[in-house]
Amino acid sequence: MKYLFLTPALAALTTAAAVPLEARQSNMLGSMLGMAAKLMPAANGIVIEEKSSLKVAGIKRQLIRYGPFTIPGNKDGAAPPSPEAGHNHGGGDMPGMSMGGAAPAAPKAAGGGFGDTLSLLAGQKPMDPNGWSTTKRLATGLCKDCTVLSGKTTVVFENGTRADLSKGVYLHHVIAMDVTKPVKSYITGCPGIASSISPFLGGAVDEFRQWYTTPDGQLKAGFYIKNDEFIMQAELVNYHPEPQNVFLQMDIEWVPGKYGPDASQATLAATSCDSATQSFKPQPGTAGEIKSKVYPATADGKIIAARGHMHDGGTAVNMYINDKLVCASKATYGGAGSTLKVNGKEWQTITKMSECADPIAIKKGDNVLITASYDTKTHPLRESHGEAQEGMGIMTFVFVPSS
C-alpha cells in the first residue's frame, strides 16, 4: 500500500501565511490529511519526566522519544538510502531565482492552489542525495487538552546524547505537524502553496527551542492541543560508512487546559513564490542578498520567537515591517559538534541562528518583507554525493492574535 505523506520541505509545510483556500477545498484537504495520518505507520513515544525552569503554575516538562531508527551507512558514490515508509521529496532549486548571484532554475509547470498542495503531499525524492527519511504517526506520547509553551525536536543516540555532525550525523530537518487542527492565516504569503496543516515543532542542524510564549513564560499564549492527530517527518544524512541507530526526540513544556490565545507557527521566505521548496542555489565563491515580495498582514497581533532558518552558506535573515527592520537573525558557524571533514575538506556547519524573542507588534494592513544574505566564499555550501547542496532563507515565527 502506498501511504499518503507530507513532504519535508519546512518552508512549504509551515507557510501558514499562505493565501487561504476556498472553505470547501480547505475542509476537503483537511479531511484527507486526517485520513492519511491514520493510515501511516504509527510510533509510540517513550516519555521521560524532567523538571521545567519556567515559573508557570502546573508546568510540566517531558522528553518524548520515538524509535530506534537505523540510518544506513554512507557508501561513497552509491545511491541514496531508501526512504522509510515510502517517503520521498522533490528537492532542487527555487524556480525564478536570478538575483544576488543565485543560479536561476527552470520555472515549474502551471497549476497552483489545491493542485499544488496535493502535489506537495506526493513528493518525489529526498532533499539530500544521501538523505534517509521517515514519516510516522505519533500514536502516543503527546499530552491531550493541554497548551504547549515551548518545545524542541532533535535526534539522539540510544544513550541520550545528541547525534550531531561531529559524530557523522547531519540533521537536515525533523518536523512535527498537527494534521487535524484548523489552519489560521494571519499574513498573506505565497499563492499556490496553500497551507492545510498546523506546524508544531521543527528542528535542524542548528539546535533551538521553539517558544509559543516569551522565554520567561509570562506572555499568556501557547499551542493548544485538544485530541489532535500528529505526524513527524525527518530527514538525516549519515556521513559515516557504518549504520547508526538513533531516536527522534521532542522536549516539550506544557500546562493542562488552555493558557491564553492559541498561538500559531508560520514561516515567510526570502525567495520568490513559484516553488514548493523555497530553496535557491547560490554560486560558489559569491556573496549577495535575496529579497521577497511584500507579505500583507491580515490581523492584529504579536510576532514572537522570530528566527531565521538557513542552510550552510547563509549569513542572516531579516524581517521588515513597513520598511523598518524589526528582526535580524544572524547565523553562527562552528563550535562543539559542528565540524567534519568531507572529501578531505574541513566543513563547519551553522550551529545557531539568533532569535528575536521580544514581542513585535503588527497590525492589519502592515507590509512584511524578508531578506536573506549569503557568503559562499567564507561559508561554502554543504556537500553531499559529491555536489554542493541548496541554500535557504526563511524567517520562522509565532503569531499571537490580539483576540
217 sits in the region (left: phi over 0; alpha: psi -120 to 50; else beta) called: left
Indicate the pLDDT class of residue 192, thresholds 50, 70 and 90.
very low
**Would 388 be classed as within a structural domain?**
yes
**Would 51 be classed as within a structural domain?**
yes
- Across the range 116-125, mean pLDDT stands at 41
What average pLDDT does the structure give for the chain?
A: 77
Q: Could you tell me where the beta strands, DSSP code E, fall in 142-243?
A: 146-156, 169-178, 198-203, 210-211, 223-225, 230-238
**Would 231 be classed as within a structural domain?**
yes
pLDDT at 75: 74
Q: Residue 7 above 60 pLDDT?
A: no
Count of domains in the chain? 1
**Would 3 be classed as within a structural domain?**
no
Q: Residue 383 above 60 pLDDT?
A: no
- Across the range 355-365, mean pLDDT stands at 95
Q: How far apart are CA 120 and CA 195, in angstroms?
A: 10
Q: How far apart are CA 147 and CA 261, in angstroms?
A: 10
pLDDT at 392: 74
Q: Could you tell me where the beta strands, DSSP code E, fall in 73-220?
A: 102-103, 132-138, 146-156, 169-178, 198-203, 210-211
Determine the Cα angle at 178 with ends 139 and 253, to 5°. 80
Domain of 333 in residue numbering reads as 10-401
Q: Residue 23 above 60 pLDDT?
A: no
**Would 149 be classed as within a structural domain?**
yes
pLDDT at 391: 63
pLDDT at 309: 87
- The lowest-confidence range among 82-96, 153-167, 305-319 is 82-96
- Tens of pLDDT, residue by residue over 247-275, are 999 999 999 999 999 999 988 988 867 55
Q: Quick one: 127 exposed, middle or buried, by C-beta within 10 A (0-12, 13-18, 19+)? A: buried
- Across the range 122-130, mean pLDDT stands at 58
pLDDT at 74: 84
Q: Residue 214 above 90 pLDDT?
A: yes
Indicate the pLDDT class of residue 32, thresholds 50, 70 and 90.
low
**Would 301 be classed as within a structural domain?**
yes
Q: How far apart are CA 360 and CA 304, in angstroms?
A: 6
pLDDT at 343: 59
**Would 5 be classed as within a structural domain?**
no
**Would 341 be classed as within a structural domain?**
yes
